[in-house]
Amino acid sequence: MAVFGMGQSFAQLDPDEMGFFNHVSIGVSAGTDGIGIDLGAPLGTHFATRVGVSFFPSVKYKFDVNAGSNNAGIFVKDKVDLEGKLDMTNFKLLFDYYPSLNSSFRITAGAFIGADKIISVYNDGPFIANPAYYGTAGVKLGDYRITSDAQGNVSADLKVNKFKPYLGIGFGRAVPRKRIGLAFDLGVQFWGSPGVYTTTKDDFGDTHYKKLGKDDTGNDDANNVFDILSKVTVYPVMSLRLCGRIL
């Protein structure tokens, strides 16, 4: 009976057994898109689908930047304490195409849908001493001038599209022919042109959440940085997936 059980455990599926959702796998993955969990199912002999979620564990990073000239007593101290947070949580829907029935090579298309504020930076404590400067004073974050909002807080978000089409290749089947399978993915998310957004006060005293442009950079070199950032429209995805057939 033990030998029979092992034979069943490692039994292989024939390609002809791949119908429409007649088998299901569950997989876990890790890569540049984070940690993922998904379900896979065949869509006939040449196609399969995977649906799941990917995310990075909550990561926060504390750092400080120079407050700038403090001759007028604008700032509480010479250094401004900031905190950064990463958020790349996405729902994913992928479709695999296998050109050959006897090969694990595949072409994958689909989409990642989720977080658009992938990096957020905000102050970790008060830094403006005089409320009269709320909305006008701020900090230089990288090559951008970030002014505070009406409450004296400073924040900035690096934003991309919520809907990110995906295209890639890989090896390994969504539903393994054996009980356990290993798969590899290599592709890109098309997440649009990243932008730096912040809440600032205009000349009329009203606050707005807006995308910073070249006029909001600190120097000529920053214009080049902004141009480079605006052209990085894809995010590389490389991941390994371990999956098991449960049906």
From first to last of its 247 residues, the chain has per-residue pLDDT tens of: 333 333 344 467 776 677 888 999 999 999 999 999 999 999 998 999 999 999 998 778 888 877 766 656 788 877 888 888 888 999 999 999 999 988 899 999 999 999 899 888 888 888 888 888 887 787 877 667 788 877 888 888 889 999 999 999 999 999 998 899 999 999 999 999 888 888 766 655 566 777 876 555 544 444 454 556 667 889 999 999 999 999 8
Neighbours of 14 (CB within 10 A): 9
Q: Would the pTM of this model clear 0.85, i.e. be above it?
A: no
* Sign of the torsion angle spanned by Cα atoms 105, 188, 50, 32: positive
Tell me how crowded residue 164 is: count the other CB atoms within 10 A of its CB: 24
Helix, strand or coil, per DSSP, at residue 133: helix
User: Is 212 exposed, middle or buried (CB count within 10 Å of its CB: 0-12, 13-18, 19+)?
Assistant: middle
